[in-house]
Structure 1
Amino acid sequence: MAEVNGNNMEEEVVLVAGNNSNNNKKYDFIDPYDPYWDGKPYPTPKSKPVDPYPDPDEPEDFEEDVLIVVNQLKLTDGFHVDYLPKGRRQWLAFNVRSADDEGGWKASRAAVAEFNRLKGADLKLSKVLSVLSRMAAGVHYDLTLQCTDGCFYEARIFMGIGDAIELITFRPAKHWPRPTMR
């Protein structure tokens, strides 16, 4: 268990009831290993380095708050942020979006369609549960979604300029439902 500024950062592995485990055998999922998402939080620094060029608009505890958000991302393979310090929805390059976000729905539909095309599956999007995004020559989306088969999935997709898309990850959800939902 890791603790960051008094916030418990432990990620519980939650197995989703229902058909989710059966789908592991039904499809050949896209789940490449990424060493950045190793599930190990960054340690809290013992002392704060002195910034020779402080930003007068940046709150004093900004770096600690960023560490809280980044560690949540590391513990969930980049798919979830349950606690937003001071309610901020944008942290560095990461944006926590509403599940009703139009871009999130477009990316979710594209992820399911691309997975179906690549794997010969017949999944249909039912609900978008969480959306994280970051800009980089397009938009990277980290999505948690539910399909009409009743199962939960995590997808990582890059929506480039024009019609360029790259489905990076599509797998049964490892981090849904969230421990904070109990």
Structure 2
Amino acid sequence: MPKETKLSPRMSAGIRKFMEIATFSTLPEVDRSSPLVRRNMTIYRENVRRTEGFYIGENLGRLPIIAGIGHMDPDDEDAISGAKAAVEAHNARTGQNVELKRIVRVNAQAVAGEVLYITLEASDDCFYESKVYITNADEPTDPDVVEVDFCRPAVHYQA
């Protein structure tokens, strides 16, 4: 029998926060047999596969997605800290000294924390994509851990 996992209060709060801002619906509210829902799910899955999570599409309506990738507000504090960490990692790797100009788009996936797919514009007027993992702290007083998987020139940016 699997061991029961207990989440810290901070991690539980982080999951609740993500569920409030993610733009996917719960299963009972969506008719999976609807041709429109099936078509939109196909578009969603293809977009996620083709763009590595950076662009999932707009106006696809309510989809029956659990633990999928959803839109996140670019003004969310996790999005901002993730974007800043991505720019710092980019500067450290390349020796450049660019600054965050604006966050263009953020998609997020709830895991044990969050995976953020961030498209950003830097002070060099170039667009970048970064995949950032934010682990919620074990204790409410501990800071979150932000890990930048990569920050690269944007491949999937769509204006």
Q: Which bin holds the TM-score, normalised by the shorter protein?
A: 0.5 to 0.7
- Structure 2 residue 147 is matched with structure 1 residue 166: yes
What 5-or-longer segments of structure 1 have no aligned partner? Answer: 1-54
Change in CA separation of 1:96 and 1:113 when aligned onto 2, cut-off 3 Å: same
Which residue of structure 2 lines up, in the alignment, with residue 139 of structure 1?
Answer: 114
Change in CA separation of 1:83 and 1:114 when aligned onto 2, cut-off 3 Å: same
- Structure 2 residue 101 is matched with structure 1 residue 126: yes
Residue type matched to 1:127 in 2? R
TM-superposed deviation, 1:63: 4.5
Moved over 6 A (4+): none
Asked whether the equivalents of residues 129 and 144 of structure 1 are also in contact (C-alpha less than 8 Å), the reply is yes
TM-score, normalised by the number of residues in structure 1: 0.59
- Number of residue pairs matched by the alignment: 123
Deviates more, 1:142-151 or 1:65-74: 65-74
TM-superposed deviation, 1:65: 2.9
Which residue of structure 2 lines up, in the alignment, with residue 58 of structure 1?
Answer: 30
Identity of aligned residues (%): 26
TM-superposed deviation, 1:90: 8.4
Change in CA separation of 1:125 and 1:89 when aligned onto 2, cut-off 3 Å: farther
CA RMSD of the aligned region, Å?
2.3
Residue type matched to 2:79 in 1? G
- The structure carrying a bigger helix percent of its residues is 2
Asked whether the equivalents of residues 30 and 63 of structure 2 are also in contact (C-alpha less than 8 Å), the reply is no
Which residue of structure 1 lines up, in the alignment, with residue 91 of structure 2?
Answer: 116
Asked whether the equivalents of residues 130 and 144 of structure 1 are also in contact (C-alpha less than 8 Å), the reply is yes
CA distance in 1, matches of 2:102, 2:54: 16
TM-superposed deviation, 1:137: 0.8
Which residue of structure 1 lines up, in the alignment, with residue 13 of structure 2?
Answer: none
